[in-house]
A and B are shown apart, each in its own frame.
Chain A
């Protein structure tokens, strides 16, 4: 998917050159506080890209996702989703390690081993039932844990809500993925694109109802998506930060006690 990365870079440049939101007058402290909290200095440009994405979504992505939902039963879609998640293992594991979260890295490794074998190439998520819960992470979260600030809000073409930290994270995530680099030739390219297309269908299908609901109930869907994206990312980062489970297994009680770790309930 290097073309996506190129598109992303182009959009960043365009964003930087295009119009900026006018800050409110300094004698209105409430308005200034609101403006700073929103942290969306590129709002006019962002809204243009929001409209572009809306058009792409209305005429291409959403109908495709609806068709995907129509022709496949839920159980098949779940299986496909699980396979896609399993394929992200190398990226997940690299980020878990970069975040200094050994227990999460262990979960990711065990999930891959169990789901790829017992779960038949990742179709069935057996590992969750066996005590290795799924988690989602990316290099944007890693950067956040390294102390990189999010920066202003960005609405990117195709990719949607983001910020400079997450945009960089997105690019690095792709670079981390061995499937980006492994192999040459038409078959590999075709497989990579198939995976990309199916991932897009899967991601869009899973939020069909939610997005419809938000668009129906929000007076300003752009602002609502902006707020939801920020809050969700913040929650995801905090959840990762606070995941300090020990790496001592529960079946090793003496060491757990010696380390002063409370026994698992």
Chain B
């Protein structure tokens, strides 16, 4: 059963995986909210600014690459299968994961026009900090979004986004785990499906 404790344990475990130095954590309290605010400001500016989603894509890419630990999230989402994958598969998987993540965000841009956010409190969660924001947009209920930030003092990175209690990372991981389970635990099949997903983006 997926209890809150499990979620926390898993998140704590990821903190170890991405090897956040414990010293950084001690000084992180002030750094995490500032980092989240800066990142969210950049995202809001892109989302609400002029241009088509395709024109905004390169700018989004820049923000995502500098602020989000895409590789760490990708590895987490593959779970135990990361170790079973060949180095070639690992490389290809991370590349595809990167594209899928960016496509998912680009695909939602239209819905988020007029988005705004207010900063909430920051709570330490093991090796990471959870920075709460309240995201408001026209014609929608305000949503609680937690940004899980690792390494806040030295090299802060977003390692997860939790929207209304649902973790992006855990949801993606269970999607991949189930797909693998139903396809003979073949990482090659998963990569093929992701490739297909990236290729068909924008056509449907």
Residues of A participating in the B interface, judged by any CB pair closer than 8 Å: 30, 34, 37-39, 74, 149-150, 209, 213, 216-220, 222-224, 226-228, 230-232, 234-236, 238-239
The verdict on B184 contacting chain A, using a C-beta distance below 8 Å, is no
From B165, B179, B182, B190, contact of A234 by CB (8 A): B165
From A149, A216, A223, A236, contact of B165 by CB (8 A): A236
Contact in complex: A224, B1 (CB < 8 Å): no
Which residues, 99 to 145 on B, are CB-close (under 8 Å) to A? 100, 103-104, 107-108, 111, 139
Task: Give me 20 other A-B pairs in contact (C-beta within 8 A), A217-B197, A227-B2 excluded.
Answer: A34-B177, A38-B177, A149-B1, A217-B100, A219-B176, A219-B193, A219-B194, A220-B178, A220-B179, A223-B174, A223-B175, A224-B174, A228-B166, A230-B2, A231-B165, A231-B166, A231-B171, A232-B164, A234-B4, A239-B165
Q: Which residues of B contact A149 (CB under 8 A)?
A: 1
**Which of A150, A216, A220, A236: most chain B Cβ within 10 A?**
A220
Task: Tell me whether A231 and B2 are in contact in the complex, defined as CB-CB below 8 angstroms, given that A219-B193, A219-B197, A236-B165 are known contacts.
Answer: yes
Q: How far is the CB of A73 from chain B (nearest CB, A)?
A: 10
Q: How far is the CB of A69 from chain B (nearest CB, A)?
A: 11
Contact in complex: A232, B204 (CB < 8 Å): no
Contact in complex: B178, A222 (CB < 8 Å): yes
A155–B59 Cα gap in the complex (Å)? 41
Contact in complex: A235, B166 (CB < 8 Å): yes
**Interface SS, B side:** helix
22 A-B pairs within 8 Å (CB atoms) are namely: A37-B1, A209-B111, A213-B104, A213-B108, A216-B107, A217-B197, A218-B175, A219-B176, A219-B197, A220-B179, A222-B178, A223-B179, A227-B2, A227-B174, A227-B175, A228-B166, A230-B1, A231-B2, A231-B167, A232-B165, A236-B165, A238-B4
Q: How far is the CB of A134 from chain B (nearest CB, A)?
A: 9
The interface on chain B, measured as residues whose beta carbon lies within 8 A of the other chain's beta carbons, has a size of: 34
